[in-house]
Amino acid sequence: MGTPQLPAASDRIRAVAKEQVVPGRPVETEFELTSLEPGREIAFKSINGSFPVSGVYSFAPAGESTAVTFDLQGEPGGFFRLAEPLLGRMIQRQWDANVANLKDILESNG
């Protein structure tokens, strides 16, 4: 087996949301990395899915820790425009769960 290759800008990633906006239908989207600066930033945009989004994860030193910020921009249409307030809360819950999960993983390997 060779060494795993790190992703690069222009690579594509498929994501499936755990929470379902429409019952029985998970939200599945393919993203393209638009910027990748290890230790500083990961930016992406959707290239298919229910509505267009783009986002940036930013990382900065914070004492002995790392501060992570996430900015997501999107324009829901159709059903998703009607569900925008619910969708925003669902995305926030998913983000909080992802960060807690990542924290657990990182701290268990330390």
Give the model's pLDDT for residue 1: 54
Please, which pLDDT band fits residue 34 given cuts at 50, 70 and 90?
very high
- Please say if the pLDDT value at position 58 is more than 90: yes
pLDDT over threshold 80, residue 31? yes
* pLDDT score of 7 more than 80: no
Mean pLDDT of 76-89: 74
Tokens 């990961």 locate to: 42
Give, in order, the Cα–Cα distances in Å from 17 to each of 11, 34, 86, 97: 19, 20, 14, 12
Instruction: Name the range with the highest mean pLDDT among 1-15, 22-36, 63-77.
Output: 63-77
Enumerate the domain spans of the chain.
Answer: 12-108
What pLDDT sits at residue 100? Answer: 86
Phi, psi torsion values for 80, nearest 5 degrees: -70, -25
- Separation of alpha carbons 59 and 105, rounded Å: 17
Is the pLDDT confidence value at 50 over 90? Answer: no
Q: Which strands make up the sheet holding 53-62, listed edge to edge? A: 12-16, 28-37, 41-46, 53-62, 65-74
Q: Which two tokens stand for residue 96?
A: 């909080």
Superfamily of domain 12-108: START domain (3.30.530.20)
- Phi and psi at residue 31, to the nearest 5°: -120, 150
pLDDT of 75 reads 77
Residue with tokens 């500083």: 40
- Predicted model pTM: 0.69
